[in-house]
Amino acid sequence: MNNRNTQKTASNVLITLLTAVIFFHFCIVLKLFPYSIAWGGRLENDLQMYFFETFSILMNLVLIITLLLKNKTINHQFSDKIPDRILWFFISIFLLNTIGNLFAETNFEKYFAILTLLFALLIWLVVKRNKENKTNS
């Protein structure tokens, strides 16, 4: 599989997983799932839940849009470095979140460490292809 296919596959897997994560967060907002299973089990009331869940949904949407920009699914006029920098930011966030999930109060949240580490690796594959192409050009 060449680098372009690897990037596209990693991006498509990420978008699919992120869509599922957004659905999960909407289920928490709608109280279909208890908010005690999210955010390390540290949320204390509905107001905190609404704030943190809204933040999470928005951040996941920003990541999806950035992936669509990176793949040129959404046309843009700015430098390709901008989506790359945003993706590197998300790699660092997901790596930090992986560590945080390992120390979560709930086992359910601890299992999310696997997902956040997978996200960091997939995003790295998306950005890595770009770096390799620049050196091969």
Give the orientation angle of helix 3-29 with respect to helix 107-136, to 10 degrees: 150
Q: What is the mean pLDDT of residues 117-125?
A: 96
Structural domain count, the chain: 1
103 domain-assigned:
yes
Instruction: Report the first-to-last Cα separation within the chain, whole angstroms.
Output: 19
The more confident residue out of 91 and 38 is 91
> Sorting pLDDT into bands at 50, 70 and 90, what band is 134?
low
**pLDDT at residue 137, as a whole number:** 41
Q: Which domain holds residue 45?
A: 3-131
137 lies in some domain: no
Count the residues in the chain.
137
Q: Please check the confidence at residue 132 and state whether its pLDDT lies above 50.
A: no
Question: Residue 74 falls within a domain, yes or no?
Answer: yes
Sign of torsion, CA 112 118 121 125?
negative
Instruction: Quote the pTM value.
Output: 0.86
Cβ atoms of 127 and 87 within 8 Å: the answer is: yes
- Return the higher-pLDDT residue of 92 and 76: 92
Residue 41: pLDDT band with limits 50, 70, 90:
confident
Q: Is the confidence at residue 84, as pLDDT, over 90?
A: yes
Is 136 domain-assigned? no
